Amino acid sequence: MAGNGDGLRENEADRGAFRRHRTLFRAAERRRNPPLRRTDITVTDERAVRRAVKAASLGNAMEWFDFGIYSYLAVTIGHVFFPSGNGTVELLASFATFAVSFLVRPLGGMVFGPMGDKIGRKTVLAMTMIMMAIGTFAIGLIPSYTAIGFWAPALLIFFRLVQGFSTGGEYGGASTFIAEYAPDRRRGFFGSFLELGTLAGYVGAAGLVTVLTTVLGSGGMESWGWRVPFLVAGPIGLVGLYLRLRLDETPAFQKLEDASVHRASEAASAVETTAKGDIAKIFRQYWPSLVLCVCLVGAYNITDYMLLSYMPTYLSDELGYSETNGLLILIGTMVVLMLLINQVGRLSDRIGRKPVLMTGMLGFLLLSVPAFLLVGQGGAVAVTAGMLMLGLSLVCMLGTMSAALPALFPTEVRYGSLSIGYNLATSLFGGTTPLVITALISATGSELMPAYYAMAAALVGVVSVACMKETARRPLAGSPPAVATAEEAARMVESQAPAPKF
């Protein structure tokens, strides 16, 4: 009781002090939370934003072009690089090699991510582009198993590891790059171009494989045709590298760097810090956001890889579809998603990230089984309808995730945190999806296993979206507000000015 009495007297004393020194207390509060000045607000350059979006998206397109061609050529690669025998064993070996590159992605994220927070986003993104292009181009030069035996799969695995290591710094950097360039009110729209690059890479890979298969046939593809898509990655990588080297560093990172040289204004100091993130700091201080990122990305990646990477193999191996027909249906589905994705990003700016993401997760949870039952009927119309049901659910995530994920972390650790969280989830759940589904179907004999796997992932996604904060139309954590025009900045400052007293 005595303790409670002491607390009441202290509260009364505080209130009394505030009444006696009201002006002093208000001045102290304004010092702790100063109003933003005009110089604290970043006014984005529309042309610079579009250049940044183009360079980041092309790199992402190349990444998924590389992974797409491997997925769509999985059967052929199984024949070329592994001893002939059981077809299922060859396919499993091919998908295991696909998955092995994902094992080193977290290592790449742990190296490139914190590096991007220390030396800048632009430099690291150029490095990852070079490594990805070299790894993919080299795969196209490897002799077959019949020519060099054991060394063929060994070299394939090595260059897949090079690809995976470089990719560890790609998505986290590209999404951070766009998010830090874009104005707050349009981050969803500009971020959606990153996943437009994903779909463009997949469509380019599927289209090229389809044309080559049609022209060369199975024999020609196994003989030399499979090499062409991998060799094409070299010139694409040079173009992407040129675009990235022409960019300036992101405004948010520049402000963070300036703060370490010049003392920032009081308002900027309130929202920025100069400490650079390292791995220990990320796991120690930001683990709740890291766990949320892993859960969101895991749910998203399982559904993404299931539809965009595994589905052609499912149609050909489980339903007896020709590889060409399966790829054509997938290409049609992805073209529809490409037409919608920017509108989904714009919608997330208007109504928020959470409602759009939740729609996608619930779509997979409720529609996966009906969609696979339609696909299982085998007719072109039924297969297309089933894939579109899944695709429309997926586009809700594709159009929103690249704006939602960077907002989970503050500027000084954003690249590192996002790279680590994204690649841990992708390593555990994304790249293993084709292998896990193939093994589950083989073990159970049920052709609905992909649907059940997607539903389990979507359930985790629903809980994760419910736990995340809404970040649409708000400044990134650790960065000052970013607006599209000087007039918008002036209105923002004016809105914070105190009302005159008479």
pLDDT higher than 90, residue 187: yes
Q: What percent of the chain has pLDDT over 70?
A: 84
Burial class for 12, CB neighbours closer than 10 Å (0-12, 13-18, 19+):
exposed
Position 331, amino acid: I
8 Å CB contact between 74 and 313 = yes
Q: What is the 3-state secondary structure (H, E, C) of 239-253?
A: HHHHHHHCCCCCHHH
* Torsion angle in degrees (nearest 10) through CA of 343, 348, 59, 215: -40
Locus of tokens 């948010």: 252
Q: What is the mean pLDDT of the chain?
A: 82
Query: Mean of the pLDDT values across residues 427-440?
Result: 83
Integer Cα distance of 317 and 88 in angstroms: 9
| Tally: H helices and E strands in the chain | 24, 2
pLDDT higher than 80, residue 75: no
Integer Cα distance of 479 and 316 in angstroms: 49
8 Å CB contact between 468 and 404 = yes
Predicted confidence band at 18 (pLDDT cuts at 50, 70, 90)?
low
Predicted confidence band at 14 (pLDDT cuts at 50, 70, 90)?
low
* Torsion angle in degrees (nearest 10) through CA of 157, 161, 162, 164: 130
Query: Which of 34, 476, 498, 30 is closest to 266 using CA atoms?
Result: 34
Report the 10 Å Cβ neighbour count for 140. Answer: 18
H or E, element range at 288: helix 287-305
User: Where is average pLDDT lowest: 245-259, 319-333, 444-458?
Assistant: 245-259
Integer Cα distance of 407 and 128 in angstroms: 22
User: What tokens were used for 7?
Assistant: 């607390």
Q: What is the predicted pLDDT for the residue at 441?
A: 87
Integer Cα distance of 169 and 176 in angstroms: 11
**Helices 227-245 & 187-220, crossing angle to 10 degrees?**
150
Task: State which of 13-27, 206-220, 482-496 shows the largest mean pLDDT.
Answer: 206-220
Q: Distance of CA 8 to CAs 1, 2, 15, Å?
A: 11, 10, 11
User: Where is average pLDDT lowest: 42-56, 88-102, 252-266?
Assistant: 252-266
Q: What is the predicted pLDDT for the residue at 30?
A: 52
Q: What is the 3-state secondary structure (H, E, C) of 368-421?
A: HHHHHHHHHCCCHHHHHHHHHHHHHHHHHHHHHHHHHCHHHCCHHHHHHHHHHH
User: What tokens were used for 425?
Assistant: 């989830």
Integer Cα distance of 300 and 231 in angstroms: 30
Integer Cα distance of 297 and 251 in angstroms: 26
Please state whether beta strands 482-483 and 42-43 pair in parallel, antiparallel, or not at all (unpaired): parallel
Integer Cα distance of 381 and 329 in angstroms: 10
Phi, psi for 497 (deg, rounded to 5):
-70, 140
Per DSSP, 42 falls in state E
pLDDT in tens, 37-50: 656 788 888 888 89
Predicted confidence band at 191 (pLDDT cuts at 50, 70, 90)?
very high
pTM for the whole thing?
0.81
Integer Cα distance of 449 and 26 in angstroms: 62
Q: What percent of the chain has pLDDT over 90?
A: 31
pLDDT higher than 60, residue 502: no
8 Å CB contact between 263 and 394 = no
Phi, psi for 42 (deg, rounded to 5):
-85, 120
Q: What is the predicted pLDDT for the residue at 22?
A: 63
pLDDT higher than 90, residue 325: no
pLDDT in tens, 334-360: 899 999 999 999 999 999 999 999 999
Q: What is the predicted pLDDT for the residue at 269?
A: 40
